[in-house]
Amino acid sequence: MSTPTWKNPIVQWVDHRLPIVTFLDHAIVKYPTPRNLNYWWNFGSLAGVILVVMIGTGIMLAMNYVPHTSMAFDSVERIMRDINYGWLIRYLHVNGGSMFFICVYIHIFRGMYYGSYKEPRELLWIIGIFIFLAMMATAFLGYVLPWGQMSFWGATVITNLFSVVPFFGEAIVQWLWGGFSVDNPTLNKFFSFHYLLPFIIFALVFIHLWALHTHKSSNPLGIEVQGDEDEIPFHPYYTAKDAYGFGVFLIVFLGFTFFAPNFFGEPDNYIEANPLVTPTHIVPEWYFLPFYAILRAVPDNFVDIWGILPVIIPAKTAGVIAMFASILVLLVLPWLDTSKVRSAKFRPTYFWLFWLFFIDTIILGYIGAKPAEGTFLLIGRLATAYYFLHLVIFMPLVGKYEKTKPLPDSISAAVTAGGSDAKEGS
């Protein structure tokens, strides 16, 4: 890596002592990027932008939010009514959370479709899953802060999940609560952690980017970059493409923020928390619904039926294990997928399996919003079974037995062939 010289003497002076300009030049200006990235590659940088929006609006909200059970709900209403533009900042934060998950889910599915997690990008994927886990924790903690009915009962239900831990369950739950129920100490520590975690996510994002920039972006064809003819510099090509995508994204984000700010929310959370009354129908935020469906899908007597460790694992534990497993199994996806071919474009069987898996998660999300009874419960169980079937059984088998399509010789060869075909066609 040769050290460039800069025309501007101040830039040169700084860069000679702290090569920050050189670093940025390598990372976001000259950074060689596959020339064939499509718009599905926009969502990583979009997620990064929303993270900044969330931290920015969050810091503003914390200036007026009071983490105390007697004042939290009112302080949020004060933000909505009395603080200048408080309504805007809070609605940006609330809808930003949903947008963050939309972008990250698209980002994850993109990685699955194009096999981005495969060698040598396994660790990049794993760091991403940790970011996803940290996001889920942050979102859950943040949802508790307004101290509405859903906040309170969501906190109660989720913290009670930990009661299934053998022997120490009750002690852990009391430790989480800082008492004997969800109360002021719980709210205080949730606020503290909700403020801390985004900065940990921020750090993880940099590690994610570090890993990304080590082996560079994958691409829709899933074949390795072979030379300069396969790449273009990040700036101006992908800065422009990302900026355009950001504009489109802002239309959606601000559309919700201004015209349907409570679209993703639950009306019950505008009722102040009441420890004596549980809402009739508790649902988590939409981004947790598939996992919530998995939690409820596992029958209480599951373990008894199958006779697996019935003494150590109490009945209700199975659902909790299934829910956590549904996320943690993604950590080993790079090894569950045994195919040498990355992109689903060249994997005719996996192509369909991917879309079935996608539909399966949508079904799980739908079921998660419905009461766990009757047909819903049955569909939820089938969809849960399919979720694990896909990841643990189908992925390894399909990789072994699938007959893949021939890969193009190089990115530029594929692009040139496609380009000239299109020209001749028109």
Partner 1 sequence: MLTGVKEEKGMAETASTAEGAGHESPDDNKRDFLLYSTIAVGAAGTAMAVWPFIDAMNPSKDVLALASTELDISSIEEGQSITAIWRGKPIFVRRRTAKEIEVAQATELKDLPDPEADKDRVKKSQWLVMIGICTHLGCIPLGQKSGDTKGEFGGWFCPCHGSHYDTSGRIRKGPAPKNLAIPPYKFIDDTNILIG
Least distance from partner 1 to the Cβ atom of residue 120, Å: 24
- Three-state DSSP class for 281? coil
* Residue 233 backbone dihedrals phi, psi, to 5 degrees: -65, 145
Q: Which of 123, 209, 232, 389 binds partner 1 (CB under 8 A)?
A: 232
For residue 228, with 0-12 CB atoms within 10 Å meaning exposed, 13-18 middle and 19 or more buried, which class applies? Answer: exposed
The reply on whether position 86 binds partner 1 by CB under 8 A is yes
Residue 272 CA, distance from chain mean position: 29
Secondary structure E strands in 186-332: 231-233
- Name the helix (H) or strand (E) containing 33: strand 32-34
Active site residues: 213, 217, 241-242, 285
Tell me, residue by residue from 7 to 46, as one string, x for binding to partner 1 by CB under 8 A and - for no binding.
Answer: ----------------------------xx-xx-------
CB of 354 to partner 1, least distance (A): 16
Q: Under rule CB under 8 A, how many of the chain's residues touch partner 1?
A: 28
Is 88 a binding residue for partner 1 by CB under 8 A? The answer is yes
> Please, are residues 231 and 47 in contact by the beta-carbon 8 Å criterion?
no
The answer to whether 244 contacts partner 1 (rule: CB under 8 A) is no
CA angle at 258 for the pair 286 and 77, rounded to the nearest 5°? 75
Choose the binding region for partner 1 from 1-9, 76-84, 96-104, 390-398 (rule: CB under 8 A).
76-84
Q: Does residue 62 interact with partner 1 by CB under 8 A?
A: no
Binding mask 285-324 for partner 1 (x = CB under 8 A): ----------------------------------------
Helix (H) or strand (E) holding 32: strand 32-34
For partner 1, the binding residue among 2, 3, 84, 280 (CB under 8 A) is: 84
Give yes or no for residue 410 binding partner 1 (CB under 8 A): no
Q: Given the rule CB under 8 A, which of 19-27, 179-187, 266-274, 412-420 is the region that contacts partner 1?
A: 412-420
CA pair distance 365, 297, nearest whole angstrom: 12
* Spatial separation of the C-alpha atoms in residues 323 and 328, rounded to whole Å: 9
Closest CA to 24 of 213, 219, 198, 200: 213
Name the site residues for partner 1 (rule: CB under 8 A). Answer: 35-36, 38-39, 56, 60, 63-64, 78, 81-86, 88-89, 220, 232, 236-237, 415-416, 418-419, 421-423
